[in-house]
Amino acid sequence: MTAMIFVNLPVTNLNTSMAFYQALGFENNPQFTDQTAACMVWSEAIHVMLLTHDKWRHFTDRPIPPANTSEVMLALLMSSREAVDTMLQSAADKGGTADINPVQDLGFMYGRALADPDGHIWEATWMDPTAMPAEEKNR
């Protein structure tokens, strides 16, 4: 079996969140989607489970952090700098917040951070390891 990761995120509005993630390039897996949860697929190995707050509470009674806090930043490797920019524009168009952190442009690596409508932080990143300066490779 392929190693997989399922990132579980509490969301306030399931339909809004599904539309947001579809705009970023995720596909919905209807087999694991109902009125309380949606499985959004990034790749064969990476899935995001969007869970209504009621559904979330079936898994933990820990409090849901407010949208203006950060517990984790999830990074997705993109195919180009343009794909990074496209993802951030799509995020802004669908109710997310683009560039919540300064843009990282190191020449060989380019990244921009966004928050989804519930404040979950994602970073779209592109890199070309062959263009990495020698001093960066030795860190």
Copy the structure tokens of residue 113.
Answer: 């951070």
* Residue segments in the chain with a per-residue pLDDT below the cut of 70: 135-139
Q: Which of 43, 6, 9 is nearest to 24 (CA)?
A: 43
Per DSSP, what are the bridge partners of residue 104?
Answer: 111
Residue 93 and residue 56 in one domain: no
- The pLDDT score that the predictor gives to residue 70 is 84
Question: What is the reported pLDDT for 14?
Answer: 98
Residue 68: what pLDDT? 86
Please tell me whether residues 95 and 125 are part of one structural domain: yes
Enclosing domain of residue 53: 1-64
* Non-local CB neighbours of 113 within 8 Å, separated by 6+ positions: 73, 99, 100, 101, 121, 122, 123, 124
Domain end point (choices 15, 47, 64): 64
- CATH number for the domain harbouring residue 94: 3.10.180.10
- pLDDT on residue 1: 76
pLDDT at residue 112, rounded to an integer? 98
Q: Which pLDDT score, from 0 to 100, does residue 113 have?
A: 97
Helix (H) or strand (E) segment spanning residue 55: helix 53-56
pLDDT value for 136: 60
Distance in angstroms (rounded) separating the CA atoms of residues 17 and 3: 25
Residues 72 and 98 in one domain: yes
